[in-house]
Structure 1
Amino acid sequence: MKSTNQKEKTTITDEDMLYQLDGRPKFSIAFPLGLQHVLAMFAGNLAPMLIIATIAKASPHDTVVMIQAGMLISGLATFLQLYPIKIGRLQIGSGLPIVMGTSFAFVPTASAAALAGGIPAVLGGSLIGSLGEGIIGLFYKHLKRFFTPLVIGSTLIAIGINLLGVGRDYFAGGAGAKDYGSWQNLTIAFSTFLIVILLQRLGKGVVKTAALLFGLIIGYFIALAFGKVDLSAVGSASWATVPLPLHFMPTFNLKTAISFLIIYITVSMETIGNTSGITVAVFDREATEKETSGSVLADAIGCAVASLFGAMPNTAFGQNVGIVSMTKVINKWCISLGAIVLVVCGFLPKLGSVFASIPEPVLGGALISVFAMIMINGVKMLAQAGFNGRNTMVLGITFALGIGLAGHADAIAGLPTWLRFIFEDSIAATTLVGIIANLIFPDSKKVTAAAN
């Protein structure tokens, strides 16, 4: 009887642990839950690097190096969030079940850098920008007033608009492709697009959360039937290698660094939002200052290390926050098993070469709706802030100068050099104009509350 009671107690404890941060449930229970997180973010984690590698005209080998590094650093950065490093009062990592992955927010800025200076220019800008995010993490308490929902919402809309242009080109077969807009490319892209939408709408469980991954796999086979897949690099790739730093030697440019630095502001706010998203959904409270600053610092360090290893910058993945919010499973051991899968994948170049062979129309079909959602998330944030007279005026100024004027070289040719420098990047301009407009026209309610 004693043995039976102990067995029942063990079984109950394993189940209960799923809804607690600490403890180690059975592998058979924990691993599927961790793998679910990997499936939900795997494709989204790799896609930005595939896009930038294509724009930079990287070799198949260099593309695989980026993919391996991206998987490895995502896993390591996730571990840092789960199990923080504490140095005195300083905490690096949130101690929460946050899954890290490559951020789409950097794609427009990284695309411009890749066209100008290849992958080394992208990594140099990312490395410098990560220092700025580190400062935000260290001094979050004093800086958060600059990053209002209007600023972040406007920036997300600008990012979404830029990304939709990228998605359109991929949908049609890739910018500059000889068969751009051909019926074959459009058939592949539309088929992939519809599969992803149907899986998201009608799927359940892992099929629904990993709809993007399954859509890419099915789209891949459709493209294979059309003869659009080049598998030559897969056969020549090694089965296992160790990712090493400085495969690409970063190059530094002031314009690129400033553009990246501004995008890091938005990504910091995204990480902050996702950190609070977990605590509100599971613990019914806002994230503490230590959890928030630690989360941003872990993000910054992950981005810096990613730059050294050849990967794009990362951030806390919103879809994984959604899984935690839906399932209430917050056990760090479960999430860490998923992180282990990512780390192991980082040592398998043959797997990376398979993803590198995904044709542009498949990527475009799978991702164009993701890019649209980034813009819609920005709209949601603006809606939460409200459209009173003051907010409408701030948004009008922000969009008029940040999106309407910025990014059009001929329209800003007569501006002073320092001002033209800022307005060459519409995302950077939107963020800066938004911050300045918010400071010039403060919210009267907040000013009154502060005075009282």
Structure 2
Amino acid sequence: MADTSLGTPDQLRDPDYTPPLAKAVPLGIQHVLAMFVSNVTPAIIVCGAAGFGFGSNSPDFPEMIYMIQMSMFFAGVATLFQTIGIGPVGARLPIVQGTSFAFIPIMIPLVAGKGVEAMSVLMGGVLVGGLFHACLALFIGRIRFALPPLVTGLVVTMIGLALVQVGIQYAAGGVPAIGTEDYGSLRNWFVAGVVIVVTLALKFFTRGMLSVSAVLLGLLAGYAVAFLLGMVSFANVGQAATVALPDPFHYGLSFSFAAILGFCLMAFVSAVETVGDVSGVTKGGAGREATDREITGATYADGFGTAISGVFGALPNTSFSQNVGLIAMTGVMSRHVVTIGAVFLILCGLMPKVGALISTVPIEVLGGGVIVMFGMVVAAGISMLSDVEWNRRNMVIFAIALSLGLGLQLEPGALQHVPETAQVLLTSGILPAAVIAIVLNLALPEELAAEATEEVSGGLSGHGAGLKRRDTA
């Protein structure tokens, strides 16, 4: 229910309306709190995969602080592209941009164990992928037919499945700690468990902002417990600079076919996700469908926001779905409220001490939050798949795409004789699954949908149909 003290119902549905400043500022910061953890987590994961950032004694530790800093700064910049806009760029809607989880399964194989040196290849992929993403705005409406819920639901589910291992490893003590005596200790799991329990309690037994910020508050609870257990060190916070500007070509730029192809293919998924978020904003906040101009502008902003991030050493950006839900909850459609949140993110990104403070969060604490977040990604994918009509054709498409995609991710050694570029792409899991699903969905005739499914489901489909009939009788 919208707060009528913020304005009339018509004003609250108007993206150009600005609520009183005393209420607009906390509403803007509320948007930042809802997305803050999800925004900085990909940077920490990528740094960990590359083999730097964990432990203040690491010579590459400042690089993790820089990437966290840039995650905040360019999330704010990309959000301004959406809310204020430049020419055709931007939806002029309250859309919050942030670092995308979807690209993590692509980025991890590119940087795994290669240190800072691998970041130039990553940034080259981010830049080209972002520009390609922006080009999709020219015909985004015409490619949506190739990405029905069967494909998008599978892709989102695969993203979550590709990342749940990271959450378990972090909760047990972190990837670099594997094989050490402390890895998987009761202390580590206790701290991660506190995060999970507090997050679930707040999510399901509270309302309003407490529920929306459940993950953030769960992390703070785990952080407090870790501090009491002596797991937190503030040594690097005092050493970090007070203010630092973004550094162009911080990691340099180099280009590899695997990185470019991977980022361009994932741009399709990110573009469709943004279309869905734009539609969610207009339906939840204004009770209408999104216009073609809004969808095109949002896609442009997505792409150019990502491309600029790559130049300065940040990761790909996309629209954040949790903030779409926040708009529906508050009933405030004002894009200027989100602009205030974007400015707050930019200010945080200019202060390395903020990044250094985030880096003090023990990996076990982050692991608890990541388990919840990535589990929710899987759940979101399954929710999207619930819209699919599970006939024989769709079951075959899903089965083959999931089996090959997840199988190659779990057993990368099966591709040891394949060229390195192909290994990087195929072992991500998500790319082969997405490509197979898209191709089969376009190639297999719809006539298969009318045939019985008994032979591929072992009779389960008939049993499910019977259950459905009983439920609706």
Does the residue aligned with 2:318 lie in a helix, a strand or coil?
A: strand
Q: 1:214 to 1:417 in 2, by over 3 A?
A: closer
Q: 1:435 to 1:343 in 2, by over 3 A?
A: same
* TM superposition shift of 1:55: 2.2
Consecutive unaligned residues of structure 2, counting only runs of 5 or more, are: 54-59, 450-473
Contact (CA 8 Å) 1:60, 1:356: kept in 2 or not? no
Does the residue aligned with 2:132 lie in a helix, a strand or coil?
A: helix
What is the aligned-residue identity percentage? 35
Distance (whole Å) between structure 2 residues aligned to residue 170 and residue 122 of structure 1: 23
Q: 1:310 to 1:316 in 2, by over 3 A?
A: same
Contact (CA 8 Å) 2:151, 2:434: kept in 1 or not? yes
Corresponding position of 1:159: 159
Picking from 206, 211, 214, the partner of 2:209 is 206
Task: Give runs of aligned pairs for residues 4-403 of structure 1, distance below 5 A.
Answer: 17-56=11-50, 57-58=52-53, 59-86=60-87, 91-115=88-112, 116=114, 118-177=118-177, 178=180, 179-403=182-406
Contact (CA 8 Å) 2:79, 2:96: kept in 1 or not? yes
* TM superposition shift of 1:445: 11
Distance (whole Å) between structure 2 residues aligned to residue 237 and residue 183 of structure 1: 32
Contact (CA 8 Å) 1:60, 1:233: kept in 2 or not? no
* TM superposition shift of 1:121: 2.8
* TM superposition shift of 1:382: 1.4
The AA in structure 1 aligned to 2:278 is T
Contact (CA 8 Å) 2:94, 2:336: kept in 1 or not? no
Consecutive unaligned residues of structure 1, counting only runs of 5 or more, are: 1-10, 447-452
Distance (whole Å) between structure 2 residues aligned to residue 416 and residue 242 of structure 1: 40
* TM superposition shift of 1:24: 2.8
Once the two structures are superposed, residues 155-190 of structure 1 have per-residue CA deviations (whole angstroms, 9 ceiling, x without a partner) of 111111111011111111101302211111111111
The AA in structure 2 aligned to 1:261 is C
* TM superposition shift of 1:227: 1.8
* TM superposition shift of 1:418: 8.2
Does the residue aligned with 2:95 lie in a helix, a strand or coil?
A: coil
Distance (whole Å) between structure 1 residues aligned to residue 423 and residue 192 of structure 2: 37
TM-score between the two structures when normalised by the length of structure 1: 0.90
Distance (whole Å) between structure 2 residues aligned to residue 175 and residue 205 of structure 1: 35
Distance (whole Å) between structure 1 residues aligned to residue 441 and residue 95 of structure 2: 31
Q: 1:63 to 1:14 in 2, by over 3 A?
A: farther
Contact (CA 8 Å) 1:41, 1:317: kept in 2 or not? yes
Distance (whole Å) between structure 1 residues aligned to residue 40 and residue 396 of structure 2: 39
Contact (CA 8 Å) 2:157, 2:377: kept in 1 or not? yes
Task: Give the stretch that moved more between structures: 129-138 or 344-353.
Answer: 129-138
Contact (CA 8 Å) 2:6, 2:23: kept in 1 or not? no
The AA in structure 2 aligned to 1:298 is A
The AA in structure 1 aligned to 2:144 is K
Once the two structures are superposed, residues 53-105 of structure 1 have per-residue CA deviations (whole angstroms, 9 ceiling, x without a partner) of 2222142321121112111111111111112222xxxx211111100111111
Does the residue aligned with 1:410 lie in a helix, a strand or coil?
A: helix
* TM superposition shift of 1:414: 5.6
Q: 1:383 to 1:243 in 2, by over 3 A?
A: same
Q: 1:76 to 1:416 in 2, by over 3 A?
A: closer
Q: 1:415 to 1:185 in 2, by over 3 A?
A: same
Q: 1:333 to 1:421 in 2, by over 3 A?
A: closer
Contact (CA 8 Å) 2:110, 2:122: kept in 1 or not? yes
The AA in structure 1 aligned to 2:126 is S
The AA in structure 2 aligned to 1:153 is G
Q: 1:406 to 1:221 in 2, by over 3 A?
A: closer
Distance (whole Å) between structure 2 residues aligned to residue 74 and residue 345 of structure 1: 11
Distance (whole Å) between structure 2 residues aligned to residue 300 and residue 445 of structure 1: 37
The AA in structure 2 aligned to 1:165 is Q
Distance (whole Å) between structure 1 residues aligned to residue 421 and residue 160 of structure 2: 26
Contact (CA 8 Å) 2:279, 2:290: kept in 1 or not? yes
Distance (whole Å) between structure 2 residues aligned to residue 102 and residue 418 of structure 1: 25
Q: 1:386 to 1:336 in 2, by over 3 A?
A: same
Task: Give the stretch that moved more between structures: 317-326 or 219-228.
Answer: 219-228
The AA in structure 1 aligned to 2:109 is A
Instruction: Give the CA RMSD over aligned residues.
Output: 2.3
Contact (CA 8 Å) 1:406, 1:412: kept in 2 or not? no
* TM superposition shift of 1:416: 8.1
Contact (CA 8 Å) 1:163, 1:371: kept in 2 or not? yes
The AA in structure 2 aligned to 1:293 is T
Q: 1:240 to 1:419 in 2, by over 3 A?
A: closer
* TM superposition shift of 1:219: 1.3
Distance (whole Å) between structure 1 residues aligned to residue 261 and residue 126 of structure 2: 10
Distance (whole Å) between structure 1 residues aligned to residue 97 and residue 172 of structure 2: 30
The AA in structure 1 aligned to 2:383 is K
Task: Give the stretch that moved more between structures: 421-430 or 431-440.
Answer: 421-430
TM-score between the two structures when normalised by the length of structure 2: 0.86
Q: 1:122 to 1:415 in 2, by over 3 A?
A: closer
Contact (CA 8 Å) 1:133, 1:296: kept in 2 or not? yes
Contact (CA 8 Å) 1:60, 1:353: kept in 2 or not? no
Distance (whole Å) between structure 1 residues aligned to residue 6 and residue 243 of structure 2: 40
The AA in structure 1 aligned to 2:65 is V
The AA in structure 1 aligned to 2:98 is G
Distance (whole Å) between structure 2 residues aligned to residue 323 and residue 315 of structure 1: 17
Does the residue aligned with 2:415 lie in a helix, a strand or coil?
A: coil
